[in-house]
Structure 1
């Protein structure tokens, strides 16, 4: 995002129409990377996009290269270009890696498939893939049912079907088979799933209707306690995060510990956010965006304002070193001995020498804001730090490597023992739980409003159906499906997927 901001600033005078909402621009650029876009102004992928996008895309690629930085989308972009523009490199790569295995192939986007085609020659297709077209739930990220068809056509793949399922009870498998048969874009000769688990191992299956979402989520804790289940054996799944947040709130209120699994890319507590920003500035001392972030976080942390322009003026006197200039400016305005001591340690361990690990260990030992979020995020950072120390020898860890590793990791707290995961369907993919509560099974929620609006045979509806297929096949023992007659005061009908599964309501709860 920092580099994109820099490109936009450079283009601002020539292209005044660039919107303020730049996060959406980053999403657009990432989508173009996934579609193997190369900057052509007439490409089909540019439909309904602003006229400045091709130039923005090309400048962003140039800036990434000049900065020696790549994000995930651009890694795919430049890897594909390297292989496509240099056939010799592709040929040598094929010689080094004669056999290729791809797991979860159904999730690949066009750029990934283009790379695969460059790595695996059609005349010697030593290629093995694992895929399930009933689990394509990342269309928004470039996945497509047509890609599996293209694979079979391009390489003449022999298909070996493995329909046996060892996770789910027979009744769940029957529901899943009933549901997914409503999708048209499936492998034509695909076999139905076959359960290998005994029906006797299965304790229960319920479809419940409630008056509203409050009573729906409140019933989860009641069911867990009445059944005598261990909390860690249960999971709450939903299509959207909003309903999960309500469920987590109700679980907490009723004495159970939820784990709301959400990716968190940045620290949020002011003190922790400031230290992270200061490390980034120490690693790139001429970067104005990192300077701005350091100042903003410091103001939130200490209520002291340090203007970016003022620091830039001071930096002119010391070779443009923004970190040194920022610390000097902050020291002049430090309002307490605590902050003066902190800034002195930053001077000693970041400005004059890079002893950042020593600085961090001292920083974590302090209680800066008496804030539960501070304690949580410091613990999370320390866990990330510990994992990094175990993976690399401390003497080999540069600040650049350290930040690269930390920045790639989620800053969300780890799941506590005995907690109940509250997951979106996408977040639950690949996992399994003894007891699953699938909530919010109402039309315009699951399936989503957009899918309902597009219609029964739309790509959006088929992907929602695959989402539901993934959700119910997380079950090892029991499944509770529920919907409410109203959400946020609006009347809702039960999800069409309930009927498609052949599920019958067994109980009405008030």
Structure 2
């Protein structure tokens, strides 16, 4: 592929970029902090910067770009956007991972180099302790005077080997030693949390500088998405890897969307990064997601969080009539669910939006709301899909199943066989198989042969679908047939997280279980594929799961003291979470408040009332 001179490079796939984005794309002599508020187009900016570095040869083979995101769907979306902008050959040198996947990959490859007693078993188990688990550990070991929340943070922040965290409280060394010992008590099945994995990575890198040198040589450019949520342990890893290197780091994010402090995020990640890495700041001010009326309200919230927040330039056109934002007040939860279900049903029937374009958000426990709102929607022939739950028989959330490499590969072929037209899936599977099979994207003979093989496989799958109605057995057989064609060993060889059997089969089982669940009661494979993708279903998720996503309409359940019992005004975690929920919407956002569940939150009501948002009686059932 010919190299483009940097001065001749132009953005691909978009009409234009704002000046600050151009500056940040072309600045590669120093580290960058890019402040990008909600809707600023972080994914597009990073994809364009990747294209600039790769197509101009500034990042020349065999060097690669490392992109680290905090959510698997964000990593997947960025990877796909880079493929669209760069093409399959150049995008093959773009590694888009979550922080957890990046850290886990190092442990999986180099776990045997971790000094004893911290070297984990090869078949270690990843666990996710809840607050009861932390408190139970402390109670069992006689530390009832300590809190589980503090223990969780201590595990995430404690470097290995364990030393006294504070001279004023030497007992923490004993607490953490007992914690690691308990989680390592079965030498054949070590238990690890992701913060523990992060600490293991830091430890092995500190012990073997050859690993650091190898990673530095591989990745001269590093992208850090949603940097405001970086934890202390993750930041330690970044410093160990790149602080003394020639690598150029680009950190992108927005302090107003920092909602992970409770999970160990640094309270001032950008300030610390700018100081340590001598980073230059650029600020993106365009908002490509929301129309001017919503942006006006968003800005009022933003100013309450950061007084100096620049007002975004709204780029989206308003396409709906009537109210675009309100607080819907209800007396009880039954009326709330019935009223909202009625409104959603009517909006779908009128053609204003499709079911999948309307997101229902909740602060926590989407399972509870699913039990209440799901039946109310079902009576109106509208399906609610809780993407935070695992499909029956699986051990991975639906939202995560959808982003797995095995899912992307398998479902592309299923759609091509089941649907009349799926041009995006054709391009995607050709690119994926070129990578999996090690084919040259520019070799016409290889690519022609690949397309012939894919075409023949699609015909085979269509014959199978014609002869077999959707069922548990036929779903499993379909997946097995596709994986045999793709080559499971080759697929696993291209995905670092699939090297361990436990991780691979967790993803494969999740795929099969979700496909079987999507096939229940169906006779048409095209409908099964649509069910799997969430077509015709209203997505339900928590605020934290909604980060990085956008929807035509957002309905947030629970703007009341019963849901936000720890709410603090102004610069607080709760206010930032409210801002994140608000900014997912492109056209409309509504909040429900239930008198039985809790009282109105005066500070929020007054703040958005000044921006023209009223508290009104909620919609009632038709």
- The TM-score bracket by the shorter chain reads 0.5 to 0.7
Match of 1:222 in 2: 342
Q: Deviations over 1:223-242 (max 9, x none)?
A: 12333243222121121223
The equivalent position to 2:199 in structure 1, one of 66, 77, 80, is 77
Residues 172 and 396 of structure 1: is their aligned pair in 2 closer, same or farther, counting only changes over 3 Å?
closer
Q: Which runs of 5+ in 1 are unaligned?
A: 6-14, 270-374
Q: Deviations over 1:74-118 (max 9, x none)?
A: 331221112223334323432332222212212221111111111
1:456 aligned onto 2:578: no
Q: Deviations over 1:433-474 (max 9, x none)?
A: 1121122111241xx21x23xx436xxx71111111111111
Match of 2:488 in 1: 393
Q: Deviations over 1:21-73 (max 9, x none)?
A: 9xx98x98764453244353631599799885322334257568865886533
Match of 2:502 in 1: 403
Q: Report SS of the residue matched to 1:182.
A: helix
Match of 2:313 in 1: 194
Displacement of 1:420: 0.6
The equivalent position to 1:209 in structure 2, one of 329, 343, 348, is 329
Equivalent residues of 1:136, 1:144 under 8 A apart? no
Residues 505 and 70 of structure 1: is their aligned pair in 2 closer, same or farther, counting only changes over 3 Å?
closer
Match of 1:267 in 2: 393
**TM-score normalised by structure 1 residue count:** 0.63
Equivalent residues of 1:101, 1:128 under 8 A apart? yes
Equivalent residues of 1:176, 1:469 under 8 A apart? yes
Displacement of 1:432: 1.2
Structure-2 separation of matches of 1:389 and 1:140: 44
The equivalent position to 1:428 in structure 2, one of 529, 538, 546, is 546
Structure-2 separation of matches of 1:180 and 1:160: 18
1:247 aligned onto 2:373: yes
Match of 2:140 in 1: 17
Equivalent residues of 1:248, 1:422 under 8 A apart? no
Structure-1 separation of matches of 2:219 and 2:126: 34
The equivalent position to 1:146 in structure 2, one of 257, 268, 279, is 268
For the pair shown, the structure with the greater C-alpha radius of gyration is: 1
1:164 aligned onto 2:286: yes
Residues 86 and 507 of structure 1: is their aligned pair in 2 closer, same or farther, counting only changes over 3 Å?
same
Equivalent residues of 2:258, 2:576 under 8 A apart? yes
Equivalent residues of 1:443, 1:495 under 8 A apart? no
After the TM superposition, which residues 483-502 of structure 1 pair with which residues of structure 2 at under 5 Å, given as runs? Answer: 483-487=593-597, 491-494=598-601, 496-501=603-608, 502=611
Q: Which runs of 5+ in 2 are unaligned?
A: 1-123, 129-137, 396-470, 518-531
Equivalent residues of 2:547, 2:580 under 8 A apart? yes
Q: Report SS of the residue matched to 2:385.
A: strand
Q: Moved runs in structure 1, 4+ residues, more than 6 A?
A: 1-5, 27-30, 45-51, 378-388, 395-400
Structure-2 separation of matches of 1:418 and 1:44: 54
Match of 2:589 in 1: 479
Equivalent residues of 1:443, 1:492 under 8 A apart? yes
Q: How many equivalent residue pairs?
A: 378
Match of 1:12 in 2: none
1:256 aligned onto 2:365: no
**TM-score normalised by structure 2 residue count:** 0.52
Structure-2 separation of matches of 1:16 and 1:483: 38
Q: Report SS of the residue matched to 1:145.
A: coil
Equivalent residues of 1:435, 1:475 under 8 A apart? yes
Match of 2:359 in 1: 235
